[in-house]
Amino acid sequence: AAKAAGKSCVRTAGHAIDSAMGRRAQLAADLPAAIEQEQFRVVYQPVAGVEERRILGLEALVRWDHPVLGTVPPDEFIELAEADGLIVPLQQWVLRTATADFADLLAGGRDLKLGVNVSVRHVQAGCLAPDVAQALADSGVPPDRLMIEVTESIMLDAEDRLQSDLSTLRDMGCIISLDDFGRGYSSLAYLARLPVDVLKMDREFIGGIETDPRGAALVAAVVELGRTLGMDVVAEGVETAGQLHALRDMKCRYVQGWLLGRPMAAQDLPAFMAAFDPAVFDTRLPNLDTGVHL
Ligand code: C2E
Ligand code: MG
Ligand code: MG
Ligand code: MG
């Protein structure tokens, strides 16, 4: 079947891969200096409570401001940093920056939680729990405000270590969430073995919730699974009012996505939260997407 697809397709694909490799190689080559020069920034995306009808938390998401290529998304460089051992200094920087920004918000009297994504390479390097503890101590953020987000796309050789690190963090008071839940193939196995408080349902499932009855049934089943296990469930990638209302009807309590708010700079958060309109939870409003991509 691949042969029947025709030679021109193969050539086109080959060309696309070549230029992708060029960019990838450039990013890999530039990464050490970028970390040294701190060419990164952290943006924050709101997470809302459907019952509370307000913003309950923020997820820290890193961006690379490349001097030539412009803003580079984490999906393009986290993997490179992981391959190079650079993930630890990068992650330390993210932890320090995000907790410092967050401490300012808490000082303003806000009741919020902060989610930070972590890499299993950091776990393998043996310093995730101490680095998190350090960032909390330096910033003064209480541990029970911090949610550690791990993805299941983790190598099995680190699993014992991961289990013990997450347990350490949980004993400190941190919240543990399993990110991109449902995307991989080992979600249920991880759920059985890791100390998890929160399930973040992958946005792939949310996209079809209004149009695909099977997709909707799956989402409802994950919400029910969370309830059975005593875990909170967050739906990621909520883009439309219809999706939000379907999730609300399924009793999914926490939502994150462009409908509620795009990732934004820390300095823009107070104004965003002041302007946040809980009416989004009530009726079928038009999409509030501002079209601003960060
Ligand atoms: P994630 O943790 O699952 O983060 C959610 C991603 O979905 C973010 O992409 C966010 O911008 C995007 N998103 C949010 N709402 C919507 C929506 O309504 N529609 C769509 N289409 N997308 C939405 P982003 O910022 O590009 O990050 C991608 C991934 O990179 C993250 O996925 C996370 O796994 C990883 N990442 C980000 N920051 C860090 C970090 O500091 N450290 C590590 N280790 N990984 C990070
Ligand atoms: Mg995440
Ligand atoms: Mg996710
Ligand atoms: Mg992810």
- Ligand 1 atom 4: residue of nearest CA: 61
pLDDT tier, 84 (very low <50, low <70, confident <90, very high otherwise): confident
- Which residue's alpha carbon is at the smallest distance from atom 19 of ligand 1? 237
Q: How far is CA 227 from CA 105, 199, 221, 281, in A?
A: 30, 10, 10, 21
pTM: 0.90
Is 6 a residue whose pLDDT tops 90? no
Please choose from 119, 236, 288 the residue to mutate so as to test ligand 1's pocket, defined by most ligand atoms within 8 A of CB: 236
**Is the ipTM beyond the 0.85 threshold?**
yes
CA atoms within 13 A on the CB side of 29: 6
Residues 117/73, Cβ–Cβ less than 8 Å: no
pLDDT at 124 > cutoff 60: yes
Measured in Å, residue 33 CA sits from the centre of ligand 3 at 28
Ligand 1 pocket residue status of 203, Cβ below 6 Å? yes
Rounded average pLDDT over 226-235: 96
The span from the CA of 76 to the CA of 74, in Å, is 5
CA-closest residue to ligand 1 atom 12: 237
- Please state, for a pLDDT cut of 70, what percent of the chain lies above it: 86
**More confident position, 50 or 13:** 50
Lowest-confidence segment of 86-95, 118-127, 137-146 by average pLDDT? 118-127
Q: How far is CA 165 from CA 84, 108, 112, 146, in A?
A: 22, 31, 24, 15
**Nearest protein CA to atom 46 of ligand 1, as residue:** 117
**What is the mean predicted confidence (pLDDT) over 45-64?**
98
Pocket test of ligand 1: the residue of 58, 61, 76 to mutate, having most ligand atoms within 8 Å of its CB, is 61
Element (H, E) at 207: helix 203-207
Residue 44's nearest CA partner among 88, 100, 121, 120 is 100
Closest residue to atom 34 of ligand 1, CA basis: 117
Ligand 1 closest atom vs CA 294: 11
| Beta carbon of 119 within 6 Å of any ligand 1 atom | yes
Q: For residue 61, how far is its CA from the centre of ligand 1 (angstroms)? A: 6
Atom of ligand 1 nearest to the CA of 43: 25
pLDDT, tens digit, 9 for 90 and up, residues 234-269: 999 999 999 999 999 999 999 999 999 999 999 999
Mean pLDDT across the chain, nearest whole number?
88
For residues 203-227, average pLDDT: 93
Please work out whether the CB of residue 257 comes within 6 Å of at least one atom of ligand 1.
Answer: yes
